[in-house]
Amino acid sequence: MAEFTWTLDAPAGAFKNHALSMKLREAAVAESKFMQYVQVEPGYGRKAGETITISRVKNIAEPVSAKFGERDRVPIDTFAMSTTSITVSYFGRGIEYTEQSELLSEFDLTDKIQKKLKQQMQLTLDTAAAGAFKTAKIKFIPTSLTGGVFDTDGTPSTTATDNVSVSHVKVIRDYLADTIHVPGYGGGEEYICLASVKALRGIKNDPEFVQWRQYIQPGDAFLKGEVGKIENIRFIEVNHTNALANNKGAAGVLGEALVFGDDAVAMAVVMDPELRAAIPGNFGLQNAVAWIGMLEFGLVWDTANDGEARVIHITSQ
């Protein structure tokens, strides 16, 4: 049987291929993970100026001995405070479209534009929050399968030669607990690690890694994106490479990660991010939608001092 063919006088394009799928596909986006670990600064908002000053109380040094004689004066220590500040800025982006695109399109473009803008907003703020975490003064750079170096001036001066391993996690955990005495996240005893996919792959491939179903006890609350736990550090996978990179170190061997405890990063908010529709222009022929907010993120303790630093950034020169 001869197959049917279009005659040569049939026009190309929609005349031959006119079927339109009734489903409008959307590109996938990375997941937002950092915002849930940022604390909104209380007592700040509208009519409070562009900058908030955060006051911090320093520790009083533990004496070698607190004993003193009956007729001696009570020894006097120094009480000290310090401050840091966060200055807010506008954040936002928009999309313009015409009335004609709405009138002639099969799909509701306004709905899709708003949805994609919300996704963009989430990723943008996630990257901004991650940037605040990464201003931490303490950097850890893996230089072997089991060890690495700490830089405490905020700038890594060594190139990583290995990816993260369980041995590195143990070194970092002990540094958090015993060297700089970081309180656990949320007032508990556990720390949080937000790690890129590559960083976690290095840990998962380590024979010492224990799957969370074997390690976390029944009844424990699971965090969004949690993939496991080593000692008292809970690991959250981040697939948002603008927030945490997968190509740090020599030949891109290292995945970036952040380990932190309580009160790490604050967010100053004057206006919560929101979607806004512009007043239609040119007699309603031009439309626009945007997300806009006024806020900023900042490290609460921008030092590497014992009892003050709260974040360790795993990275490379």
Task: Report pLDDT digits (tens) over 127-165.
Answer: 999 999 999 999 999 999 999 999 999 999 999 999 999
> How confident is residue 226, by pLDDT bands cut at 50, 70 and 90?
confident
Q: Which residues contact 239 (CB under 8 A, 6 or more apart)?
A: 30, 31, 196, 197
Q: What is the pTM of this model?
A: 0.87
Q: How many CA atoms lie within 13 A of 96 on its CB side?
A: 7
pLDDT value for 213:
46
Task: Report CA-CA distances (Å) from 225 to 31, 32, 40.
Answer: 9, 10, 22
What is the percent of the chain where pLDDT is above 70? Answer: 87
Task: Report pLDDT digits (tens) over 261-315.
Answer: 999 999 999 999 999 999 999 998 999 999 999 999 999 999 999 999 999 999 9
Q: Which residues contact 281 (CB under 8 A, 6 or more apart)?
A: 287
Task: Report pLDDT digits (tens) over 71-88.
Answer: 999 999 999 999 999 999
Cβ pair 235, 229 in contact under 8 A: yes
Q: Which residues contact 43 (CB under 8 A, 6 or more apart)?
A: none
Domain boundaries, the chain: 35-61+79-130+267-299, 135-263+301-314
Q: Determine the Cα–Cα distance for residues 41 and 23; give it in Å rounded to an integer.
A: 42
Please check the confidence at residue 1 and state whether its pLDDT lies above 50: no
Q: Determine the Cα–Cα distance for residues 312 and 317; give it in Å rounded to an integer.
A: 15
Q: Which amino acid is at 271?
A: M
Lowest mean pLDDT among 207-216, 225-234, 275-284, 306-315: 207-216
- The domain covering 35-61+79-130+267-299 belongs, at the CATH homologous superfamily level, to Major capsid protein gp5 (3.30.2400.10)
What is the 8-class DSSP label of residue 176? I
pLDDT value for 107:
74
Which residue, chain included where needed, has tokens 């230089």? 143
- Pairing state of beta strands 138-142 and 148-151? antiparallel
